[in-house]
Amino acid sequence: MMQMPQSLHDWLIYLETLHPKTIELGLKRVEDVKQRLDLAPSFPVIVVGGTNGKGSVCAMLEAILHAAGYRVGCYTSPHLLVYNERVRIAKQPVGDAELCTSFEHIERVRGDVRLTYFEFGTLAAMQCFISHEIEVAILEVGLGGRLDAVNVFDGDCAVVTSIDIDHCDFLGDTREKIAFEKAGIFRAGKVAVFGDLDMPMAIATQAKKIGAPLWRLGKEFSYRMDEFQWDFLAANKRNSLPYPALRGDYQLKNASSVLAVLEAMQEILPVSMAAVRRGLVEVELAGRFQVLPGKPMKILDVAHNPHAARSLARNMANMIPSSKTYAVFAMLKDKDVAGVVREMALQVDVWLLAGIASPRGASAEELRHIIKQELSAGEILIFHGITEAFHHACKAAGENDRIVTFGSFYTVAEAMSVNVA
């Protein structure tokens, strides 16, 4: 028997070596190990998928259900600063020792089944939730849905937040193909929520095929807003709600999806208006249009595809104008860099480019080449790394300027670490 890793850091390094591929879609391997572990949750499970907005929906669900007095388990990915962010119980990250214990248990029973890092983590999260006897679990899909490790657990309600082009190598190169994959989290007889106005036909087709009641934004539920509050409109209205603490006008679509999920599950998870209001006001989610205190204004956003960049650009356009905007920008090379640049072009005066220390990271020179192809104007500066670029932006920017750091979870995480240090 191998010597087990002794720390969470060592476990995470070990997990990265178990499977030759970072991503290996398919449920058989993780289902086999799930059965050996006898992971059969007795509590309700909410599964959250979609291209953008998953993290926001998970955070709002977690905040509202916690405010309602439930013991909530929430599994999300990726993390920004520490792995423990991915597995939370009662809004607190699970400790190193408990994660190590779960990893060791999985390692002992998996035999010769080769699990990916994400698959291992998904099973460990559910093992922690079961051992803590939580009352409801929120599971965020890692990639796609139909063949994602999270999908070995049946959801009592599933929500797909939005569909856009991303991860084409795995999910297909059209919205319909991607929608088919993401609709794989739907279950017969369980409400499926779709949280965007532009719904691909594959969503409705899959829901009808398996007999999942489909609740669509703009049809079965919607929202109405004014300057100070908003109303959720459905079979049971919820009026005079506070705006979510998460910034951005698109968050009302996410909040509406959250309330649709709660509406669908009201018989097994009743939630009061007071809990809804408290959860919306108290919700927190790092790296999603996050504005750091102080001057110059610093905005952090993990936007890494054109759809998310469009939302970021719109939110910036709605802010009080600044003298100059510096963009600390780094992306993975398998993403649509050109599409992201086009969406953000009108909001950026100076591009500060850096590479990402990952085999998938685009180099600063690769980014510069793409930006020069897409834009006719704009100052471009090259840096060895994200930290150097962020430091330069902080020194160069005046009090009335702003700095936006975006393009990847890696980009935001490093800038966040610099700002905290």
Token digits for 6? 């002794």
Nearest to 385, CA basis, from 415, 340, 408: 415
144: Cβ contacts below 8 Å, ≥ 6 apart: 25, 49, 167, 170, 171, 178, 181, 182, 184
Distances from the Cα of 232 to the Cα of 112, 143, 164, 253, 359, angstroms? 50, 29, 25, 10, 44
145 vs 10: CA distance, rounded Å: 29
Domain parsing of the chain, residue ranges: 8-282, 290-420
Pair 214, 207: CB distance under 8 Å: yes
pLDDT-above-90 percentage for the chain: 88
Mean pLDDT along residues 306-330: 94
When the candidates are 1.20.1250.30, 3.40.50.300, 3.40.1190.10, 2.60.40.10, the CATH number that belongs to 8-282 is 3.40.1190.10
- pLDDT for 223 equals 97
pLDDT in tens, 120-142: 999 999 999 999 999 999 999 99
Question: What is the distance, to the nearest Å, from the Cα of residue 338 to the centroid of all Cα atoms in its chain?
Answer: 22
Q: What is the overall mean pLDDT for the chain?
A: 94
The CATH code belonging to domain 290-420 is: 3.90.190.20
Centroid of chain to Cα 55: 3
End-to-end CA distance of the chain, in Å?
41
Q: What is the pLDDT of residue 264?
A: 98
pLDDT in tens, 233-287: 999 999 999 999 998 888 999 999 999 999 999 999 999 999 999 999 999 999 9
Residues 215-239: pLDDT tens digits?
Answer: 999 999 999 999 899 999 999 999 9
Q: Report in angstroms the alpha-carbon separations of 250 from 74, 202, 315, 343, 420.
A: 22, 23, 9, 16, 28
